[in-house]
Amino acid sequence: QSESPDATTTSVCGFCSTGCGLEIHLKEGRSVNLTPSTDWPVNLGMACPKGWEALNVLQSSDRATRPLRRGASGELEPTSWDEALHYFCQQMKGVQSRHGNDAVAFLSTGQIATEEMAFLGSLAKFGMGMQHGDGNTRQCMATAATAYKESFGFDAPPFSYADFEESDTLIFVGSNICIAHPILWERVLRNRHQPEIIAIDPRLTETAQAATSHLKIQPKSDLTLLYAVANYLIQKDWIDREFIAAHTNDFEPFAQHVQSYTIERAMELTGLSEQAIVELAEKIHRGQRVSFWWTMGVNQSHEGVRTAQAIINLALMTGNIGRPGTGANSITGQCNAMGSRLFSNTTNLLGGHSFTNEADRQKVAGILEIPIERIPTENSWAYDQIIEGIRQEKIKGLWVIATNPAHSWIHQNDLQEIFQKLDFLVVQDMYSNTETAQLADLVLPAAAWGEKEGTFINSERRYGLHKKVSPAPGEALADFQIFRAVADYWGCGEMFSKWTEPERVFETMQQLSEGQPCDISGIAGYAELDDRRGVQWPCATGETDRSVERRLFETGRFYHADEKAKFIFEDSRRPGETADDEFPFVLLTGRGAAAQWHTQTRTAKSSVLRKLYPNVLQVDLHPADAKALGIAPHELIHVESRRGIVQAHANLTAAVGRGQVFMPMHWDTVNQLTFAEFDPYSRQPSYKNAAVRLRRR
C-alpha cells in the first residue's frame, strides 16, 4: 500500500528504436511502477517485456556507484569524483602531449540522450581537440545512413509507423521484426488490408513464420535477388516511368546494370525457385501500396549499402515512396540511433552538417560561438578505423561511453588484445562489471535511463522526451553532468557555459538544425514534446502540421541539389570468408528473443526477462546436419571458427538451413567466432557471415 502511486508522468522507453511511451507511476516524485502509455501514437497502450521491466533493471546490485581507479594492486578501487576527474584530464592530456591531440578518441552509443551526444561530441572535438570518435550505431545503422545519404541526399528514413497499417504489401528483408521490434509487429497486425507479408531471410524466423510467404534465401544472396527482381520488373515494364522521369536520376544505367541479373542467376545463388522469384516481382507489381522494410540482415553485411540501395531502387522504380503504406524503410536499432546519426558529431558535424564543408563549419561555429578553427576539417575515423588506430598505436587514450565493445565488437579476441596497447582506457557506464569496464583504468559511474532527462529520436523520426523519475544510485551522475564536469576540469567549460541542462542543448540543436532536412526549430521545447507525446522531424519554424502520420517525399522532392533521388548500384560480390571443407558451416548471428537486449548488460538484471530467455548459449542447427555429425539434442558441442572456439548447446531446428547455424549475439563469447569484414562505404561490420565447424566435445 505504501507504494501506491500518487501521480503519473510519461517517458519514452530507453531500449529499442520503436520509442514506446511509458506511463511512470510515481510516489512522492519517485517511480514505483510503469504501464505502457495508451495515448502515445507509437505503441497505443502496448509494450514489450523489456519496456515493462525498464525500472526493475535499475535496481541491480552491480550498478556503478562510485568512480573506480585501477590501483597499484591491479584492482579497480573506489576514488572520489574530484580525483577521478583530475586523473582523467591528467592522463588524457598526457597522451596528447606525448602522441598528439588525435591520439585520444571516444566510442559512444545510441543509448544516451541526443543532448548528451551533442555535448560529448562537442566537448571531445571542440574542447579537447580530438579528431576521432564514433558510436556503436556503426554496428547497427551506419549502412542505412550511408545508403539514404547517397540515394536521397540526406540520411532520411521516409516513413511513419502508420505505414505498417496502410500498406497492402509489406516486404521484410533481413528483418526479424517480430522479436526485434515487437510493438511494430503489433502495428502490422492492426493492418486491415489483408496484406501480403513477405519475409526474405535465410532463417525461418518468427517473422518468416508469421508472414504470408517466406523466401528462404542462401546467406549473402539478397543483393542478387533484389537486382534480379528489378530486372524482371523492368523487362515486364511493371515500373512507374512517370515517377522515374520526374524524380530520379540514373535509372537507365541501373536498368542496363541489372540486365545480367537473370532469374536463373538469382536461382543459382539464392537457392530459390523460379516461381518464388517471379511471384515476388508479381506481388510488388500488384500491390497498390508496397512498403519495403529492412534491418540488420541488410545493414550488417559486406555489401550492405548497395543492398539497402537495391531496396531503395525497387521503391523508386515502382513509385512506392511518399505515399501512405509505401517506402524504402530502415527500422533503426537503438532507442537513439537516429540521434547519434544527426547529433553525435562523429562522422557528421552537428545537425547533419559536414566537417569538410566550410560553410557548415562557419554556421556551427557561429551558433556555438566558438572559433571556427576548433572544428576539425575532416571526418572522424569510423569505429573499425579507431580500433585499427589503437593496434597501430596511433591512438593511446580511449573514452568508452555506454557501450561494451569487449563483448559486442566483431572478432572479439583481437579487440581485447588490441585494447592492451592503450595507455589509458576510461569507461563511463551504469555498470562497473561489463566486459569493457573490467579492462578499464578508470570507471565513471553513470546514471541510467529513468535517472536523467533528454530526448531520443525513434525510427519514424519522432523526438520523444524521457525524464528523471528515480535518483541515480550512490555517486553516479547523469552523462550530461559528467560531460559538464569533464569540460570544467579540462579547462574548456567556458566554451559550453550555456549548456547548463539538457533543454538548453536542445535549444542549440534546434538552431543547428535550421535549414536542414532535419529542421526542428518549430518545436516549442520540451513542453511540446511532452504534451504531444513526441514530434517527428522535420518541424521547421512555422510548421503547423502536428499529425501523427507524417512521411517524407510526399511532393517527390528529394534532398540532392536537383531534388531528385539517385539509382545507385554495383555488382554483387562474395564475402571475404565462405564455408569450405575445413569450416563447412555458415554462422549467422542476431537477436535471440524480444526479452533480451544486445550484450544483456541491463536486461540480464531482470529475473523476469531472464526467465523469458534460455539461460544457456544455444547454437541452432538443422536436424539432418546434427544427425550426420552424431550430435544429440541439447548436447554441449564446440563451435569453432578460424578465430576461436565456443561451447554451446545444440538446438536442433529446421528454422536454419542445411549448412547453416545460428547463434544469438547476446552471449559474451559469440563474437570470438565472427569474421571482421566491413561494408566499404558504411564501414559497418558484417556480423552475419563466418565459416565455422561443429565438433562433439
CA distance 291 to 171: 6
The separation between the first and the last C-alpha atoms of the chain, rounded to the nearest angstrom, is: 54
Nearest distance in Å: CB 157, ligand SF4: 16
Closer residue to ligand SF4 in complex, CB, 44/629: 44
Query: Looking at 10-18, 111-119, 227-235, 384-392, which segment touches ligand SF4 (CB under 6 A)?
Result: 10-18
**Residue 457 in the binding site for ligand SF4 (CB under 6 A):** no
Residue 105 binds to ligand SF4 (criterion: CB under 6 A): no
* Distance from chain centroid for Cα 466: 19
Range list of H helices, 239-302 = 241-247, 251-258, 263-270, 274-286, 296-299
Q: Is 617 in the site for ligand SF4 (CB under 6 A)?
A: no
Question: Is residue 331 near ligand SF4 by the rule CB under 6 A?
Answer: no
Residue of 10, 11, 15, 434 that binds ligand SF4 (CB under 6 A): 15
Counting residues that bind ligand SF4 (by CB under 6 A) gives 14
Q: Which stretch binds ligand SF4 (CB under 6 A): 27-35, 73-81, 181-189, 538-546?
A: 181-189
Does residue 464 belong to the site contacting ligand SF4 (CB under 6 A)?
no
Task: Give the whole-angstrom CA distance, residue 51 versus residue 13.
Answer: 6
Closer by beta carbon to ligand SF4, 187 or else 306: 187
Residue 425 is a binding residue for ligand SF4 (CB under 6 A): no
Site membership for ligand SF4, residue 198 (CB under 6 A): no
* Distance, CA of 86 to CA of 82 (rounded, Å): 6
Nearer to ligand SF4, 9 or 235 (CB): 9
CB of 13 to ligand SF4, least distance (A): 3
DSSP E strands: which ranges in 458-609? 462-466, 535-536, 565-566, 585-590
Rounded-to-integer distance, Cα 600 and Cα 383, Å: 21
Give the residue with the Cβ less far from ligand SF4, 180 or 316: 180
Asked whether 22 and 10 are in contact (CB, 8 A), the reply is: yes
Spatial distance between the Cα atoms of 106 and 340, rounded to a whole number of angstroms: 13
Element at 692 (helix H, strand E): strand 690-696
Looking at beta carbons only, is 164 or 419 nearer to ligand SF4? 164
Closest separation between CB of residue 697 and ligand SF4, Å?
A: 36
Residue 438 CB, nearest approach to ligand SF4 (Å):
26
Residue 181 vs 484, nearer CB to ligand SF4: 181
CB of 50 to ligand SF4, least distance (A): 4
- Amino acid 635 reads E
> Measured from the CB of residue 51, what is the shortest distance to ligand SF4 in angstroms?
2
Question: Per CB under 6 A, does 13 bind ligand SF4?
Answer: yes
Max CA separation in the chain (angstroms): 73
Q: Which part of the chain contacts ligand SF4 (CB under 6 A), choosing from 176-184, 203-211, 462-470, 657-665? A: 176-184
Long-range contacts of 150-153, Cβ-Cβ distance < 8 Å, separation of 24 or more: 150/305, 150/309, 150/566, 150/568, 150/681, 151/309, 151/312, 151/313, 151/316, 151/565, 151/566, 151/567, 151/568, 152/312, 152/553, 152/558, 152/559, 152/560, 152/565, 153/558, 153/559, 153/560, 153/561, 153/565
Among residues 292, 291, 324, which one has the least CA distance to residue 548?
A: 324
Q: Kindly report the number of other CB atoms within 10 A of residue 62's CB atom.
A: 12
CB 289 within 8 A of CB 325: yes
CA 167/CA 184 separation, integer angstroms: 13
Residue 182 Cβ, how far from ligand SF4 at the closest point, in Å? 5
C-alpha cell at 644: 576461436
The least CB distance from residue 466 to ligand SF4, in Å, is: 11
Q: Of 40-48, 213-221, 599-607, 656-664, which segment contacts ligand SF4 by CB under 6 A? A: 40-48
Q: Which of 10, 11, 16, 694 binds ligand SF4 (CB under 6 A)?
A: 16
- Measured from the CB atom, is 325 or 534 closer to ligand SF4? 534
Q: Which is nearer to ligand SF4, 69 or 467 (CB)?
A: 467
Beta carbon of residue 186, minimum distance to ligand SF4 (angstroms, whole number): 9
| Residue closer to ligand SF4, measured from CB, 22 or 694 | 22
Distance of closest approach, residue 162 Cβ to ligand SF4, in angstroms: 17
Rounded Cα gap, residues 683 and 301, in angstroms: 10
Among 10, 11, 20, 428, binds ligand SF4 (CB under 6 A): 20
Collapsing DSSP to helix, strand or coil, 103 comes out as helix
Q: Cβ of residue 47: shortest distance to ligand SF4, in angstroms?
A: 4
CB of 158 to ligand SF4, least distance (A): 21
Strands 30-36 and 21-27 come out as: antiparallel
Q: Does residue 402 touch ligand SF4 according to CB under 6 A?
A: no
Q: How far apart are CA 666 and CA 609, in angstroms?
A: 13
Residue 652 as a binder of ligand SF4 (CB under 6 A): the answer is no
Residue closer to ligand SF4 (CB basis): 17 or 660: 17
Measured CA to CA, the distance from residue 340 to residue 121 in angstroms comes to 10
Quick one: cell of 162? 502508420
Strand partners, 248: 565
Tell me, residue by residue from 41 to 60, as one string, x for binding to ligand SF4 by CB under 6 A and - for no binding: --x---xx-xx---------
Residue 226 grid cell: 533484389
Rounded (5°) CA angle 47-48-52: 70
Task: Give the torsion through C-alpha atoms of 45, 48, 53, 57, to 10 deg.
Answer: -130
Binding flag, residue 183, ligand SF4 (CB under 6 A): yes
Residue 401 C-beta: closest distance to ligand SF4, Å: 21
Region from 90-98, 120-128, 177-185, 292-300 binding ligand SF4, contact rule CB under 6 A: 177-185
Q: Does 18 bind ligand SF4 (CB under 6 A)?
A: yes
**Judged by CB under 6 A, does residue 337 bind ligand SF4?**
no
Nearer to ligand SF4, 43 or 686 (CB): 43
Task: Report the residue number, 58 or 183, with the smaller CB distance to ligand SF4.
Answer: 183
CB of 205 to ligand SF4, least distance (A): 17
Is position 182 an interface residue for ligand SF4 (rule: CB under 6 A)? yes
* Complete DSSP assignment for 159-194: --THHHHH-SEEEEES--HHHHSHHHHHHHHT--S-
The interface region with ligand SF4, picked from 180-188, 346-354, 446-454, 531-539 by CB under 6 A, is 180-188
Q: How far is the CB of 509 from ligand SF4 (least distance, A)?
A: 22
Kindly state the smallest distance separating residue 136's Cβ from ligand SF4, in Å. 16
Q: Which of 5, 11, 7 is nearest to 530 (CA)?
A: 11
Residue nearest to ligand SF4 (CB): 51
The three cell numbers locating residue 96: 596528447
Euclidean distance between CA atoms 45 and 65, whole angstroms: 34
Least Å distance between CB 597 and ligand SF4? 7
From 9-17, 271-279, 337-345, 363-371, give the range in contact with ligand SF4 by CB under 6 A.
Answer: 9-17
Cα–Cα distance measured from residue 10 to residue 534, given in angstroms and rounded to the nearest whole number: 11
Stretch that binds ligand SF4, among 13-21, 116-124, 551-559, 644-652 (CB under 6 A): 13-21
Binding footprint of ligand SF4 on the chain (CB under 6 A): 13, 15-16, 18-20, 43, 47-48, 50-51, 181-183
